[in-house]
Amino acid sequence: MWQAISQQLSDTLLFEYQITEKVRLSGGDISESYMINDGEQRYFVKINDREFLSKFEVEAESLHLLRETSTLFVPEVVLVGKTKNASFLILNYLPTKPLEDGPNSFKLGQQLAHLHQWGEQKEFGFDTDNYLGSTLQPNKWHKKWCVFFAEQRIGWQLQLLKEKGVTLVDIDDFIDVVKQLLANHAPEPSLLHGDLWNGNAALTACGPICYDPACYWGDRECDIAMTELFGGFQPEFYQGYESVMPLSAGYQERKDIYNLYHVLNHCNLFGGHYLEQAQQVINKIIYY
């Protein structure tokens, strides 16, 4: 496998790249991650089964798009490919450390706000379906945000759970609840990172960096809400964001609805205590 990766990388770089060092990196529940080195240039490699290729391709598409915005700093895609038994994604390698200091958290907040201001789109969705982790994320274009989010985010995850034999709530009834709660909220479509929690952001010598996106055009509050889930970001991050683009009234009420999507995804991926957490959030939303 590594010989095939080395050959394909050499063909892409237009010079022979001979791997002299290979280090398994920690983190990530879905793919194996490595740093490879030829003595001069290091690269970051994600490896999974051959059937995972389409997931790496759409991840690369999101990374390309984010780089085009010149807002968030994200890794550069070098190569997406496959071998006889595996698929892989190669990115430029940048040593990272946790994003903990205030000034860089403030900067990341500003960068995210600039992303949300970038571009113009009249509908919600994306040109292709992509993946949240390893879960398919449908992105069919829709004019109404309340319908898009209720059906293609919450309803989709609940249906996946039902197919696994897990029913937390009547799906059609709850879709209607979500539609009604979001019906009077009409955000402008913003390009979202889509999976922005503190495990997908770090600090490099070049400043804050984000990775593992699941981009689509949606309500910017979805990105902000997720940053408050699974650990949260520094207070300076939110100060930086609001210095560019203050949040709208009612965000605190919508936050639980938006984060339910990610909790349900964790139910589908990992089960366990996330099922109890999802049930609690659903009950809270029903009795708003």
Secondary structure letter of residue 153 according to DSSP: I
80 and 88 in contact (C-beta within 8 Å)? yes
Q: Is residue 32 within a helix (H) or strand (E), and if so which, with residue range? A: strand 32-37
Q: Rounded to whole angstroms, how far apart are CA atoms 244 and 110?
A: 6
35-44: b or e for each residue (b if 16 or more CB lie within 10 Å)?
ebbbeeeebb
- DSSP-H helix ranges across the chain: 2-13, 53-69, 102-117, 145-149, 156-163, 171-182, 221-227, 235-244, 251-270, 273-286
Write down the catalytic residue from 195, 212, 219, 223. Answer: 195
Q: Dmax over Cα atoms in the chain, in whole Å?
A: 62
Q: Give the Cα separation of 103 and 101 in Å (integer).
A: 6
Would residue 195 show up in a list of annotated catalytic residues for this protein?
A: yes
Distances in whole angstroms, Cα of residue 63 to Cα of each of 73, 76, 115:
10, 7, 13
Residues assigned a catalytic role? 195
